[in-house]
Structure 1
Amino acid sequence: MRSRIAQRLHKALEKRFPERRLFLRSDTETRFIRLKSETQLIAWTGATLLVGWAIVATAILLMDSIGAGNFRAQALRDRLVYEDRLNALATERDARAEEAAAAQARFASALEQISVMQSTLLATEDNRRELATALGVVQDTLRRTMSERESAQDQLAAATAAIENGEALPGAAAGGELSGTVDMLSEALAETAEQRDQIAADADYAISHAEELELQLRLLRERNDEIFGQLEEAMMVSVEPLDDMFRSVGMDPDDMISTVRRGYSGTGGPLTPLSFSTMGGDPDDDTLRANSILNRLDEINLYRIAAERAPFSMPVRDSFRFTSGFGPRWGRMHEGTDLAGPIGTPIYATADGVVIHAGWSSGYGRLIKIQHEFGIETRYAHLNQIRVQVGQRVSRGDRIGDMGNSGRSTGPHLHYEIRVGGSPVNPMNFIRAGSDVF
């Protein structure tokens, strides 16, 4: 049975692989090698397997090469997109800075105009008050003169009646004395009439001048309203972005302002209110509006102080790339942001504060901790070199260390953390908020 099967297989192989002979000739003899069907099948199978293995290996190498090329291309594209985003943010930041500088210049100009208007308004108020006093004096003098004129007219009428009746004037002699008395009364009446006319002319001038002053006062008030409106709008435009910046990172602006005001009660507190009235009494509307603008200006100053003490800037200013963000990572919570760059890249403090740790810390490697105002703490980990000491006070932008690969790290990068009240928060919230305003 086996022989029959073997014979059939041999015949089938001979149809596919007929027996061949390989002749080898030399100078003296000729030899041949017989290649059986089974031998040819084994050789063909081996060659096929070799070719298949070569094809599969080549395909795997090509796929790996294509995959690596795609990964590098994607990384390059991500880097270009990130650099474009950084350039756009830098351009936007510069534009915001220019707008803030222009707004500050406009505010200074408007404040100077307010000062000039206030001086003019005070001078005009003094002139109006003096004219009102002079007008009262003129009116009193006019009333007294009219009374004296009426008394003189009565005396003249009595003297005339006495002369016509041939009676003697009381307390006077006859003849020349009577004539002298009449002349004296006539002169007094003429002088009184002249004074009356002069007083009437002065009164008319005072009234017309008072109307002109009232018109000037009305124009000054309208101009003041316009300036106050512009200043109030500038204050609103300046304060609202700062207020939104603090609220976007979960901080209460009112509490921060109160904290800064307590710390700067000597030179950073509210400005002295203005007083336009010298007559006493309650302040007018212009005084209240001016004081409100000054309070808002003081509030902007307090916001500026608070912003310098909160970490709204970037710890790395040279070229870098984000390699890991805040949130869950590999089954654990990643409590900061990783910024990768070459070893030795300068690391800067992101806000004013005091160094509370500068040394080795387990998985952090070389670590710097800085305590800021409002219960904020920043951490800078995996450093190659530390340039500050514990207890040292640093300002925003001071170089505190160099980027490295110390501790539990897979490559040179900075692990940057922000903690508020001891709890970690996303550092990008502060960085984005600062880039939107500064």
Structure 2
Amino acid sequence: MTGLRHRLHVMMERRFPEKRLFLRSDDQTRFIRLRPATQLMAWSGSAVLIGWTIVATAILIMDSIGAGNFRAQALRDQMTYEERLNVLSSERDQRAAEAIAAQQRFNSALEQISLMQSELLRSEERRRELETGIEVIQATLRRTMAERADAQERVDLLQAALDGNGDVLPGTGGSADAAGTVDLLAAALAETAEERDQIASDAEFALEHAAEMELELRLLQEKNDAIFSQLEEAFTVSVEPLDNMFRAAGMDPDQVLSTVRSGYSGTGGPLTPLQFSTRGGPNDPDAERANSILRQMDRLNMYRIAAERIPFDMPVKAGFRFTSGYGMRWGRMHNGTDFAAPVGTPIYAPADGVVTFAGWSSGYGRLVKIRHAFGIETRYAHQSRIRVEVGQRVSRGDHIGDIGNSGRSTGPHLHYEIRVGGSAVNPMTYIRAGQDVF
């Protein structure tokens, strides 16, 4: 053990020979002995310090480089996100323009349907008048034919009397009155012949008029067929998008119509359904087609009423961008869709309803709640100004407030929620469903 220590001391002496550090003062001189072990420890400490400094500096440099790369990547991601938002905004504007065009086409179709309905009713009345006229002409013709047969019988009787083979008509008074009887028969024969000619002329006129009325009735029937075809096609084009809209929102169209029909108390309007009666006679194909079209009109009218009461429309019309959608966000559930826009941007009611809350609500800030039909409620949070009051009835498109930054908000935006039966659902489900209609 002593030998090993001696060898180590010799090796350190070679590398770190013993040194003395003299310290001289006024009256004395002192020195400090730097042994090899002390020098080794000092050298090792210095090496460790220098190594640590190099490593720390390298770490700081690499972290700075990494942070720069991260910032650059974040900037690139932000630019990509903004480009995507711009594309989505352009698509939204395009869809809004398409929705406006679809609404205009829908209104135009309603006007055409109303005009066609009026034309159809006039055509149906004209057809019934023609049928009544034909029945009157046929009755007149039958009566004329009967009178003609009766007149012919009288003519034959008078002709037989004139031909006279010695027989006379009862009541002539014998041969002494033969001349008077002949004159009487001649006058009666002339009168009967005149009546026969008149009856024949009337019958010929009735036949010609009946043929003209049958031609007019056939042309009218062809016109009615064309109107029916146009109406049926128009309803197919108009009703199918509405069916798809309700199904896309997860709603049963038949149940929606049943609910609206049972709760709707309004009357009148251009699309009020009628019924064509067959008056107890056989089924009329035209009447059945007309009733079918009127039932479709009633369905379209009920759809229109339901669509105005369900939030299919957008709550923001001016320039905006979607910032947060429905779903999990930062580990928490985000129950709505956010529309970012400048402070003061108008907020519109997407459907008819009644305001149930209008005021401050903790994290929501200035909040408006609207109750719609079918157990649907919409919420509009973080407003800068509320423009409605509790109990107020609003219609689709009414200005209900302005976008703001109140409550727990990181910037000016509208937090928009839709709740069905108290449970939050994705608002985009309804907005996408109504894109092709509104």
Sort the TM-score into its range (normalised by shorter chain). Answer: 0.7 to 0.9
Partner of 2:90: 84
Identify the match of residue 106 of structure 1 among 95, 105, 112.
Answer: 112
| 2:273/2:297 contact within 8 Å kept | no
**Is there any run of 5+ residues in structure 1 with no aligned partner, and where?**
11-37
| 1:122/1:276 contact within 8 Å kept | no
Of 254-263 and 352-361, deviating more is 254-263
Please give the secondary structure, in 2, of the residue aligned with 1:435. coil
TM-score normalised by length of structure 2: 0.80
Structure 2 vs 1, CA of residues 272 and 415 (structure 1 numbering), >3 Å: closer, same or farther?
A: closer
- The structure, 1 or 2, with the larger RCO (C-alpha pairs under 8 Å, 6+ apart) is 2
Structure 2 vs 1, CA of residues 207 and 7 (structure 1 numbering), >3 Å: closer, same or farther?
A: farther
Structure 2 vs 1, CA of residues 262 and 380 (structure 1 numbering), >3 Å: closer, same or farther?
A: same
TM-score normalised by length of structure 1: 0.80
Query: Shift in Å at residue 148 of structure 1?
Result: 1.6
Query: Shift in Å at residue 430 of structure 1?
Result: 0.9
Structure 2 vs 1, CA of residues 284 and 414 (structure 1 numbering), >3 Å: closer, same or farther?
A: same
Kindly report which structure 2 residues correspond to 1:338-357, keeping only aligned pairs within 5 A, or say none. 338-357=338-357
Distance 1:162 1:121 in 2: 57
Identity %, equivalent residues:
49
**RMSD (Å) for aligned C-alpha atoms:** 3.3
| 1:325/1:338 contact within 8 Å kept | yes
Partner of 2:274: 273
Amino acid at match of 2:274: P
Of 382-391 and 76-85, deviating more is 382-391
CA deviation profile, 1:57-85 (whole Å, cap 9, x unmatched) = 66335414422320231122112211221
Structure 2 vs 1, CA of residues 380 and 290 (structure 1 numbering), >3 Å: closer, same or farther?
A: same
Amino acid at match of 2:173: A
Kindly report which structure 2 residues correspond to 1:54-203, keeping only aligned pairs within 5 A, or say none. 56=62, 59-60=65-66, 62-157=68-163, 159-162=164-167, 171-175=172-176, 177-203=177-203
Query: Shift in Å at residue 245 of structure 1?
Result: 1.1
Please give the secondary structure, in 1, of the residue aligned with 2:318. coil
Partner of 2:226: 226
Distance 1:264 1:416 in 2: 28
Partner of 2:416: 416
| 2:89/2:320 contact within 8 Å kept | no
Please give the secondary structure, in 2, of the residue aligned with 1:318. coil
| 1:276/1:283 contact within 8 Å kept | no
Distance 1:174 1:50 in 2: 163
- Structure 2 residue 388 is matched with structure 1 residue 383: no
| 1:366/1:382 contact within 8 Å kept | yes
Aligned length: 402
| 2:273/2:298 contact within 8 Å kept | no
Please give the secondary structure, in 2, of the residue aligned with 1:160. coil
Please give the secondary structure, in 2, of the residue aligned with 1:374. coil
Distance 1:268 1:77 in 2: 51
Query: Shift in Å at residue 427 of structure 1?
Result: 0.6
Query: Shift in Å at residue 312 of structure 1?
Result: 1.2
Distance 2:109 2:220 in 1: 24
Distance 2:325 2:99 in 1: 23
Of 301-310 and 184-193, deviating more is 184-193
Distance 1:136 1:169 in 2: 32
Distance 2:86 2:201 in 1: 85
